[in-house]
Chains A and B, each alone.
Chain A
Amino acid sequence: MLKSLLTITHQEIVMTLRQAYSWITPLLFFVIVVCLFPLALGPDENTLNKVAPGIIWVGALLAIVMSIGNIFRSDAEEGHLDLLLLSAHPLTLLVLCKLISHWITHCLPLIVISPLLGILLHLNIHEESVLVISLLLGTPVFVLLGAIGSALVVGIRSHGLLLPILIMPLYIPVLIFGTGSMIAASANLPLASDFAMMGALVLISLAFAPLLTSAALRIGANQ
Chain B
Amino acid sequence: MLHWFNQHFISLKAFYATSSALLPWLITAFSLCFAYGLIAGLFFAPADYQQGDGFRIIYVHVPSAFTAMAIYAVMAVSGILTLVFRMKIAAICMSVSASIGAWFTFLALVTGAIWGKPMWGTWWIWDARLTSVLILLFLYFGFIALQSVIPDQQSRDRAGAIMAIVGVINLPIIHYSVIWWNTLHQGPTLSKLAAPSIAPDMLHPLLAMIAAFLFFYAVILLLRMRNQIVLREIKTQWVKEVMSHAS
Contact = CB atoms under 8 A, between A and B. Distances in A.
B177 A173 contact: yes
B8 interface: no
Nearest to A193: B180
Interface residues of B, number: 29
A153 B141 CA distance: 15
Contact of B166 (A148, A162, A197, A222): A148
A53 to B, nearest CB: 12
Interface string B177-215: 110110010000000000000000000000000000000
A66 B158 CA distance: 25
A177 B178 CA distance: 10
Contacts of A212: 162, 165-166
Contact of A166 (B145, B150, B152, B174): B145
Contact of A172 (B141, B163, B166, B178): B178
B177 A197 contact: yes
Contacts of A145: 166
Interface in A112-160: 145, 148, 152-153, 155-156, 158-159
B100 interface: no
B6 interface: no
A188 interface: no
Interface in A70-128: none
A165 B173 contact: no
A128 B83 CA distance: 45
A159 B147 CA distance: 11
Given A162-B145, A223-B155, A169 B174 contact: yes
Contacts of B169: 204, 208
B138 interface: yes
Contacts of A172: 135, 174, 177-178
Given A165-B145, A169-B174, 10 more contacts: A162-B149, A166-B146, A169-B139, A169-B170, A173-B177, A177-B180, A204-B169, A215-B83, A219-B158, A219-B159
Q: Which 7 A-B pairs have the closest CB atoms?
A: A173-B177, A169-B138, A176-B181, A166-B142, A219-B158, A176-B177, A152-B159
Interface of B: 83, 135, 138-139, 141-142, 145-146, 149-150, 152, 154-155, 158-159, 162-163, 165-167, 169-170, 173-174, 177-178, 180-181, 184
